[in-house]
Structure 1
Amino acid sequence: MARFPVSALRSVDLGTPDVGRSERFYVGVWGLEVVARRNGVVYLRADGTDHHVLALHPNARPELRAVTFRVAAVDNLAAVAANVAAHGGQVIAPPAANDAPDGGIVMTVRAPQGGLLRFVHGDAMQVPKRPAGDRPERLAHVNLNSVDADATAEFYQNALGFHLTDRTGLMAFVRCNSDHHAVVIADAKVNGLNHVAFLMPSLETVMRGSGRMIDAGFPIAWGVGRHGPGDNVFAYFIDPDGFVIEYTAEVLQVDDDYKFRGPSEWVWPPGRTDQWGIAPPKADHVKAAQLAIPYAG
């Protein structure tokens, strides 16, 4: 297996006009747990070992404030910083002690098309919780909109050391470990957040979590189905602020022998949107929601 300077997707920071409402949703309905509060920010963990997977910030409008990755070694921070500057990005804050509750060493950069990316090493870890049967374990991937998906994918490869796993007509899938993808980059007319995917332990837990969401008044926005690239099961929802979020499971594990497939090889029959053929076409309001969340700043 190739060695990656970035070892995992860790967390996302979302800005919300009503932190209390968002907290109630993500704890009481989605299945996360508050682990810290500081300076008005609420930090939420899943059942796995990450200190937190979601940070909710008070904000005038819903927006994506940052995506955080973990790096394999502290020396990788300097290497990533140099590569970012060489490939059109900007180092906003060089490596320094992290004063947020997760600790460790943190560095913040801005990608060429916007959006803050944070890289941490030595961050605090959690004791994993006993599986509850319908709660997320960690983040699976973040899907970002890009006015030039190929250029963004090249930045992730050349500056951050990701590998391009697959490319459909609309999306580029890049990875930093054995998960088929940690970041998905969608061709779009705007830059920003498309959706955030949370990994569930199994197909059964995707279904049970989806049932809990429906009981709470949040219908499935798209799915349930099984994606092509990544082979993962999915169910999409829209949170109270309009963020599109996904329960997913069974993400394909790959290694260096995986055969890349391009747009001509990822073609569905007319009218089909997933492998099983049971997910309905994505509704217009869901498509609109996937284009509505900008980057901070």
Structure 2
Amino acid sequence: MPGHQNVGAVSEIGYVSMRTRDLSESIANAVDVFGLHETASDGRKAFITAQNKHHELVYTQADEDAIDHIGLVVSSAGELDAVRAKVDRGGYRVVSEQPIEDHIEQGFAFVGPEGYTWQLYTEKLDYCMRKRGSLTPDRLGHVNIKSRNAPAMRDFLTEVFDFRVSDAIGIDNFFMRCNDDHHGIAIFSSSDLGLHHHAWQAGNVMDLGRLGDRLARRGARLAWGPVRHGAGDNIAVYFIEPNGAVIEYYCDMETIRDKERPARVWDPEDLYWINQWDGQVPAGILDFGVVPVER
């Protein structure tokens, strides 16, 4: 585009790559319970997606349950270079000048604050007609990570990836967007580090109910929900996957088309921000998650 200046902006959340001590169980949970599709596997690693991409979720057999890295998409090579320039200025450690994941043509990876690894990459998508199953999510929507210094993590996401704060819960929890979705990354203040949950967009609230039905028929239960959040306004259900991370299935999330819309600020004592309907949060639900891999 003539006159366009690359600012180093992330355009969407691409995928989540996790290590798991039981690859077959993780695959079965994603495919049989959650309705995702396995696109490639070699017995050591599996690539999984909802509908339109080669992968939005990667599991690797390992001796630990952990978050390996988070993949973030940029819209062009120019935007990739602009992010890389900010990474260099910030002094962050680049761990690969090439993509660290298969099936990605162009990108680099680095370790950011608190040990989280980020894969930045460009992505080419072919047109794909969605063929929804009885449960299949539309796409990966967002991730929620724990931080010991949430304001610093907020500043990092803003300065390096051009995220914006949509909602702030007091001064220690932030919901941040990189496109029209209310949030692509949420940051929760915690004494522990880790990926708390990865979240997938459903077609409607009936899909959330069908997930609950499917779990019940397998002798399992939802960990929380259905609930309507205040921050984001989405209806959601949650369950715990085999490696200890939480999976959210949601619909009806707020969209924000004004990039400069100021953040809403919530009183953290007013639990309407997390549960509009009854203000309740299951005990221990925020304690789950998988720690970041040390590099």
Q: Tell me, which stretches of 5 or more residues in structure 1 are unaligned? A: none
Bigger mean CA offset, 220-229 vs 177-186: 220-229
TM-score (norm 1): 0.89
TM-score (norm 2): 0.89
What residue in structure 1 maps to residue 61 of structure 2?
A: 58
> Aligned-pair distance for 1:206?
1.4
CA shift in 2, pair 1:4/1:226, >3 Å: farther
1:294 maps onto 2:294 in alignment? no
Aligned length in residues: 287
Q: How does 1:63-102 map to 2 (within 5 A)?
A: 63-94=66-97, 96=98, 100=102, 102=103
Q: How does 1:280-291 map to 2 (within 5 A)?
A: 280-284=280-284, 286-290=285-289
CA shift in 2, pair 1:88/1:174, >3 Å: farther
What residue in structure 2 maps to residue 127 of structure 1?
A: 128
> Aligned-pair distance for 1:204?
1.5
Q: Distance in 2 between matches of 1:253 and 1:4?
A: 22
> Aligned-pair distance for 1:266?
8.0
What residue in structure 1 maps to residue 251 of structure 2?
A: 249
1:162 maps onto 2:159 in alignment? no
Q: Distance in 1 between matches of 2:99 and 2:197?
A: 30
CA contact (8 A) 1:180 1:252 kept: yes
Aligned partner (choices 208, 226, 233) of residue 228 of structure 2? 226
One-letter code aligned to 1:167: A
CA shift in 2, pair 1:88/1:226, >3 Å: farther
CA contact (8 A) 2:199 2:250 kept: yes
What residue in structure 1 maps to residue 4 of structure 2?
A: none
CA contact (8 A) 1:134 1:209 kept: yes
What residue in structure 2 maps to residue 207 of structure 1?
A: 209
Q: Distance in 1 between matches of 2:281 and 2:150?
A: 23
Aligned partner (choices 5, 28, 33) of residue 37 of structure 2? 33
One-letter code aligned to 1:83: K
CA contact (8 A) 1:4 1:162 kept: no
CA shift in 2, pair 1:125/1:89, >3 Å: farther
> Aligned-pair distance for 1:90?
2.3
Q: Secondary structure at the match of 1:194?
A: strand
CA contact (8 A) 2:37 2:49 kept: yes
What residue in structure 2 maps to residue 6 of structure 1?
A: 10
CA contact (8 A) 1:51 1:124 kept: no
> Aligned-pair distance for 1:217?
2.6
Identity of aligned residues (%): 27
